[in-house]
Amino acid sequence: MKYNIEKVNQIGKMVAEVIEEAVRQTEVERVGIGDVEMAMRETLQAVGQSALKQFLEDAHGELETEIECVCGGKLQYQRCRAATIWSVFGKVVYKRAYYAGCVCRRGHAPVDCRYGIEPGKVTAGLAHLIALSGIKESFEEGRKWLKEYLLFEVSENTIRSETQKMGARQRQADQELVKEMQDEKSLQQREQNRPVACDILYGSIDAAKVRIEPRDPQEKVLENRETWRDLKVGCWYEGEVVPVRQQSMRQKEKVQREGVVLRAKNKKYFCDIAEAKDFGKLLWATGCAAGADRAHRLVFICDGAVWIWNLIDQYFPNAIQIVDWYHAADRLKRIAEEVFSTLEERQTWLKQVTEDLWQGKVELVIEACRPLAKKSKWARQSLTYFCNNKERMRYDQFRTSNLLIGSGIIESGCKQIVSQRLKLPGAQWILEGAVLTAKARTAWMSGEWQKLVSARSLLPLAT
């Protein structure tokens, strides 16, 4: 929005005068800039409250004696009735025209309707900030942070409810997308619009455990206390070359070794606590939205769990499948640690097999593991793993094609949602709460937050 700068300067001058007066009257010996800033924040907050009140009270326009009700009946003007809202400036009480008296017993305040205000509730602007703290910190910690930022108290319950409302909106968007991408007509329409296809699109999927604990003690007994559920997380992204001036030391070394270093961009995360079958539908829908069905090359980099490859085979049978390099190499490290007693033996073996794996010579890696299978359970398991995933480990070919081979994006995604939020101290989840908080957080991580905020402002009001 554009502001009249002259008027803003006038207000600024008035605020400065208020602060000067307050400073003159204070008994503190030396007033620093921090004190001035705090005084100014408090003053501007009061100015905001006053301005918002006046704005809403002036906004009703012409008063009518009678208006039409949504049911088709008639509403009569009653009087100016007071309403309370919680805004980014704190509590604001304002008076607005109120209509009632219809046979359906509904009441109506045009100003509330026009601005998407729910009397007695949090405004869209404040909900945005509250939910932002709710996806980042435990609700208890968020309460403390918000007080510093907002200069007033918000309860833990409000933070929980606003965060989860944001998640509910993301869930609704997910459901609508799933429906759209299963509908033959919508799919054809997309085809006709011919959206631009990207050259290489990547997908990664992983899962992390979340502890679900019913809040109700009776329910706890019934459900046999806590349970662990898999939060499945997926991400669509593209790769780009890291510019020289942005390369870290580690990346510079990598460039020397490998010639090029790639990083992910345009990351779009999605998640759910659901059976693989239902998660597959979300995978397909978000994939279509990201252009997976049109990309020249579609590449999946995953850690190797069977349910994940099955979903990929089912929905994107033509995709290139890659086992995350770090998971594969780490297996070799663990085998070496389990089997060899001296450091020298361990290092000699490990150096050779890691190099073979790097060159995509999986057959040689398998041969090197085979004699160790008798001695180590881990080697036995890995033997099966390398045999089953042979074609997903042709790292030489993948590197020649300039493809990413690490699934760091999805691991970081799981970490941001699970370790850094759902597993924070003090976090106790019922299934619904965990899912909604996770979904709200993925919206933030994917740069889709503003869409959810706007969706809230446009929410149809229950009257």
Could you list the residues that contact Zn ion (CB under 5 A)?
A: 69, 71, 73, 102, 104, 106
Q: Alpha-carbon distance 63 to 110, whole Å?
A: 10
Looking at the Cβ atoms of 106 and 297, the one nearer to Zn ion is 106
Least gap, CB of 130 to Zn ion (angstroms)? 33
Give the DSSP H or E segment for 213. none
Looking at the Cβ atoms of 71 and 461, the one nearer to Zn ion is 71
Least gap, CB of 53 to Zn ion (angstroms)? 29
Looking at the Cβ atoms of 69 and 366, the one nearer to Zn ion is 69
Q: In sequence order, what are the residues at sequence separation of 6 or more whose Cβ sits closer than 8 angstroms to the Cβ of residue 102? A: 69, 71, 73, 74, 75
Q: In sequence order, what are the residues at sequence separation of 6 or more whose Cβ sits closer than 8 angstroms to the Cβ of residue 47? A: 11, 15
The structure tokens 């349970």 sit at 227
Query: Using CA atoms in the order 169, 227, 446, 123, what is the torsion angle rounded to 10 degrees?
Result: 40
- Segments of 223-294 assigned E as strands: 227-241, 262-272
Looking at the Cβ atoms of 106 and 327, the one nearer to Zn ion is 106
Least gap, CB of 66 to Zn ion (angstroms)? 12
Q: What is the DSSP letter of 70?
A: T
The structure tokens 């890691």 sit at 354
Looking at the Cβ atoms of 106 and 121, the one nearer to Zn ion is 106
3-state secondary structure of 76: strand
Looking at the Cβ atoms of 34 and 460, the one nearer to Zn ion is 460
Name beta bridge partners: 241.
262
* Pair 128, 434: CB distance under 8 Å: no
Least gap, CB of 102 to Zn ion (angstroms)? 3
Least gap, CB of 71 to Zn ion (angstroms)? 3
Least gap, CB of 460 to Zn ion (angstroms)? 16
Q: Helix-strand-coil percent breakdown of the chain, rounded to 5?
A: 55, 15, 25
Least gap, CB of 142 to Zn ion (angstroms)? 40
Q: Alpha-carbon distance 45 to 80, whole Å?
A: 25
* Pair 285, 181: CB distance under 8 Å: yes
**Of 265, 389, 401, 386, whose CA–CA distance to 322 is shortest?**
389
Looking at the Cβ atoms of 38 and 70, the one nearer to Zn ion is 70
* Pair 78, 100: CB distance under 8 Å: yes
User: What are the residue ranges of helices labelled H in 75-205?
Assistant: 110-115, 124-136, 139-150, 156-182, 184-193
Least gap, CB of 100 to Zn ion (angstroms)? 9
At position 362, the amino acid (one-letter code) is V
Name beta bridge partners: 208.
231
Looking at the Cβ atoms of 102 and 212, the one nearer to Zn ion is 102
* C-alpha R_g of the chain: 29
Looking at the Cβ atoms of 46 and 100, the one nearer to Zn ion is 100
Number of neighbouring beta carbons within 10 Å of residue 78: 14
Least gap, CB of 106 to Zn ion (angstroms)? 5
* Pair 413, 406: CB distance under 8 Å: no
Looking at the Cβ atoms of 75 and 365, the one nearer to Zn ion is 75
Least gap, CB of 461 to Zn ion (angstroms)? 14
